């Protein structure tokens, strides 16, 4: 199995795709302004709820978040669980980290078990016994446990699995750097004094690289020369045994050349064709995500086995969480149902999020629960269609901004002005400053369809 990363400049930062054997598995970007997971916030306790043993938090984004007592105890330095009223008080300011994104009518969930991430080390400002990542297994895990205890007897550090492949000094140096970062965050807290996201001082490309490096890529592809130079520095900072090959694509867009752009279009569609025939139909609803396996005459077991593999990839790529109800083609024999259940477990084995699979019902229905983390892919790239009163989907303003960015990238000289639909102009002006729009005048044109733009021919 070949693992490859593809990087591409985008309208709001760098986008990156994770590919396995040439198939798109995940799509990431350097910054998603809506996400809270792993982000640090200064939050104010707005309400204590003893019956829930939890508290609600104002974290600076206009809606309340939520923290359970078991997650609030770390800032208080308490090892055992206690009632929420003994851990927090209304009006108090506390540093928290995102655990789970907001979901419909539920706000995001937070913790005070803060973690600052490095490539080899995770630093826990509120302490704790030395630990080792759950992804480290076998003899590597045994050796890492001994090293963690020897190098960090005071605790507060988790060794990641790649720590097994480097010496002691890189681990100590990274831990010192993360501790220094925490001191800078504390300075930001003292200056701020009000709820909001905290500055960590991290380079966003480094954050993205660290997240994707967990997948141990063999190759890295990029078309943009400036981005390639930045990635080369990150790769050369790694121990030689961990360095992937850096390859430059020939075209202007690495996503187009590697097939990422085409697979992204499929991932935004409700219908996913299966290679052997048949299809998946994926329909998000308020209560769950419904998936229908349509065989178009194929043999049931072969169809269901292929559908299981593709379903796992699509849920991961689309970042769909919560309850997923799958209507497979019914299998008459118990041994066939057992094979399908085993195939589903194998297909989800490498999913980074927690997945629970229920046995198939007599009617061929399988219920899957998948943890939520970040925004679904469709939430970034699609929005309810205004022409059909919300019964369909159209490109989101973020997607239209990416289309405009791609159109401008192909021009040797930027235009002096752009004509934009009112909604797109407001969206872009709210996201300023954007380097790729520097020096370009944004003009509103109410005759353009929502999300529309026009570049004058001969201008630039």
pLDDT tens digits for range 253-284: 899 999 999 999 999 999 999 999 999 999 99
pLDDT in tens, 214-234: 899 999 999 999 999 999 999
Tell me which DSSP letter residue 360 carries.
P
- Name the pTM for this structure: 0.87
Residues 343 and 422 in one domain: no
What pLDDT shows up at residue 296?
77
| Inside any domain, residue 119 | no
What pLDDT shows up at residue 200?
86
Share of residues in the chain with pLDDT > 90 (%): 67
CATH, residue 276: 3.30.1370
What pLDDT shows up at residue 412?
80
What pLDDT shows up at residue 298?
87
What pLDDT shows up at residue 295?
86
Whether 445 and 419 have beta carbons less than 8 Å apart is answered as: yes
Residues 286 and 361 in one domain: yes
Contact residues for 430 (Cβ-Cβ < 8 A; gap 6+):
none
What pLDDT shows up at residue 457?
61
With cut-offs at 50, 70 and 90, classify the pLDDT of residue 193: confident
**Does 210 score more than 60 pLDDT?**
yes
| Ranges 42-56, 60-74, 94-108: which has the least confidence | 94-108
Name 253's bridge partners.
none
Residues 365 and 416 in one domain: no
What pLDDT shows up at residue 138?
77
Query: Which domain, by its residues, includes 227?
Result: 3-33+203-262
Residues 27 and 60 in one domain: no
| Inside any domain, residue 402 | yes
| Inside any domain, residue 84 | yes
Last residue of a domain, one of 262, 291, 310: 262
| Ranges 112-121, 192-201, 216-225: which has the least confidence | 192-201
With cut-offs at 50, 70 and 90, classify the pLDDT of residue 413: confident
Mean pLDDT over 45-54 rounds to: 95
Mean pLDDT over 101-126 rounds to: 90
Whether 19 and 4 have beta carbons less than 8 Å apart is answered as: yes
Q: How far apart are CA 180 and CA 174, in angstroms?
A: 10
Residues 339 and 402 in one domain: no
| Inside any domain, residue 438 | yes
Mean pLDDT over 81-99 rounds to: 94
Last residue of a domain, one of 111, 138, 170: 111
Residues 105 and 55 in one domain: yes
What pLDDT shows up at residue 389?
58
Residues 326 and 359 in one domain: yes
With cut-offs at 50, 70 and 90, classify the pLDDT of residue 103: confident
| Ranges 242-251, 378-387, 441-450: which has the least confidence | 378-387
Instruction: List Cβ<8 Å contacts ≥24 apart for 22-27.
Output: 22/258, 22/259, 23/263, 23/313, 24/259, 24/260, 24/263, 24/264, 24/267, 24/317, 25/313, 25/316, 25/317, 26/316, 26/317, 27/260, 27/264, 27/267, 27/317, 27/377
Average pLDDT, the chain: 91
Q: How far apart are CA 398 and CA 277, in angstroms?
A: 34
Last residue of a domain, one of 354, 370, 386: 370
Half-sphere exposure of 406 (CA within 13 A, CB side): 14
Mean pLDDT over 78-97 rounds to: 92
What pLDDT shows up at residue 459?
54
CA angle 22/24/28 to nearest 5° reads 130
| Inside any domain, residue 164 | no
With cut-offs at 50, 70 and 90, classify the pLDDT of residue 394: confident
What pLDDT shows up at residue 22?
92
Residues 340 and 425 in one domain: no
| Inside any domain, residue 14 | yes
Residues 14 and 45 in one domain: no
Whether 215 and 161 have beta carbons less than 8 Å apart is answered as: no
Residues 425 and 356 in one domain: no
| Inside any domain, residue 409 | yes
Higher pLDDT, 363 or 95: 95
pLDDT in tens, 119-155: 999 999 998 888 888 777 777 788 888 999 999 998 8
Backbone angles phi, psi at 69, to 5 degrees: -60, -40
What pLDDT shows up at residue 201?
83
Mean pLDDT over 25-43 rounds to: 88
Residues 273 and 361 in one domain: yes
If one counts the domains in the chain, the total is: 4
Mean pLDDT over 441-455 rounds to: 94
What pLDDT shows up at residue 384?
81
| Ranges 22-26, 80-84, 170-174, 348-352: which has the least confidence | 80-84
| Inside any domain, residue 280 | yes
């Amino acid at each position: 199995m070949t693992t490859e990363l593809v990087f591409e400049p985008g309208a709001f930062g760098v986008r990156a795709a994770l590919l396995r054997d040439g198939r798109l598995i995940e799509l990431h970007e350097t910054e998603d302004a809506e996400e809270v997971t792993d982000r640090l916030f200064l939050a104010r306790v707005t309400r204590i709820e003893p019956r829930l043993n939890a508290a609600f938090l104002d974290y600076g984004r206009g809606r309340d978040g939520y923290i359970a007592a078991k997650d609030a105890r770390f800032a208080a330095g308490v090892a055992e669980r206690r009632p929420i009223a003994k851990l927090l008080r209304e009006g108090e300011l506390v540093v928290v980290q995102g655990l789970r994104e907001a979901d419909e009518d539920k706000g995001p969930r937070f913790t005070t078990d803060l973690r600052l991430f490095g490539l080899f080390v995770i630093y826990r400002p509120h302490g704790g016994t030395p630990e080792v990542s759950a992804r480290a297994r076998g003899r590597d895990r045994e050796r890492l446990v001994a090293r963690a205890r020897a190098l960090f007897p005071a605790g507060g550090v988790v060794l990641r699995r790649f720590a097994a492949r480097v010496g002691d000094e890189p681990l100590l140096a990274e831990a010192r750097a993360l501790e220094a970062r925490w001191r800078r965050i504390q300075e930001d807290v003292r200056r701020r004094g009000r709820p909001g996201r905290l500055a960590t001082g991290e380079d966003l490309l480094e954050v993205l690289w660290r997240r994707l490096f967990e997948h141990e890529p063999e190759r890295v592809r990029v078309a943009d020369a400036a981005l390639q130079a930045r990635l080369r520095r990150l790769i050369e900072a790694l121990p030689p045994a961990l360095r992937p090959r850096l390859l430059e694509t020939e075209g202007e867009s690495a996503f187009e050349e590697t097939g990422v752009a085409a697979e992204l279009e499929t991932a935004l569609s409700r219908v996913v064709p299966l290679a052997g025939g048949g299809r998946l139909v994926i329909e998000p609803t308020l209560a769950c995500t419904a998936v229908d396996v349509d065989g178009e005459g194929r043999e049931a077991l072969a169809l269901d086995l292929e559908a299981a593999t593709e379903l796992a990839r699509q849920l991961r790529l689309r970042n769909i969480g919560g309850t997923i109800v799958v209507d497979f083609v019914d299998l008459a024999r118990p041994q066939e149902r057992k094979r399908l259940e085993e195939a589903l477990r194998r297909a989800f084995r490498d999913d980074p999020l927690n997945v629970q699979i229920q046995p198939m019902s007599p009617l061929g229905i399988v219920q899957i629960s998948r943890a939520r983390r970040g925004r679904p892919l469709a939430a970034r790239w699609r929005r309810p269609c205004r022409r059909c009163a919300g019964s369909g989907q159209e490109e989101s303003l973020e997607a239209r901004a990416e289309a405009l960015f791609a159109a401008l990238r192909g021009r040797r000289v930027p235009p002096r002005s752009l004509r934009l639909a009112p909604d797109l102009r407001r969206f872009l002006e709210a996201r300023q400053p954007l380097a790729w729009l520097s020096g370009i005048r944004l003009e509103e044109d109410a005759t353009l369809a929502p999300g529309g733009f026009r570049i004058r021919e001969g201008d630039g």
